[in-house]
Amino acid sequence: MTVRVQAGTPWGQPYAQLGLATNDVDAQGQVKPAAPAVQLYDLAADAGQRQNVAGEKPAQAEAMSLRLESLVGKRRAARPSGK
């Protein structure tokens, strides 16, 4: 789900550029403790991210989660040590 925020908010880019921010992130840019651990949205049908479909599509959610982890892991591995 999204809510309107003032443009220029330092977190949630590009949401802030659109005047939107996810309600699962607080003003400091931290994920709220009550936010669902797994989130998957059909953005074509639900651009406002109101209906989390991760429970309806667990295989797709898992595949996307694994892909994200592989990308993040590659990025971390590419950083020079100490950064």
Closest C-alpha among 26, 16, 21, 12 to residue 49: 21
Q: Give every CB contact of residue 55 below 8 A, 6+ residues apart in sequence.
A: none
pLDDT of 72 reads 84
Where do the structural domains in the chain lie, given as residue ranges? 1-35, 38-83
pLDDT of 55 reads 95
Closest C-alpha among 12, 61, 59, 19 to residue 36: 61
Structure tokens at 32: 């709220």
Structure tokens at 27: 């003003």
Each residue's pLDDT tens digit, 21-54 = 567 777 676 778 888 888 898 988 887 778 899 9
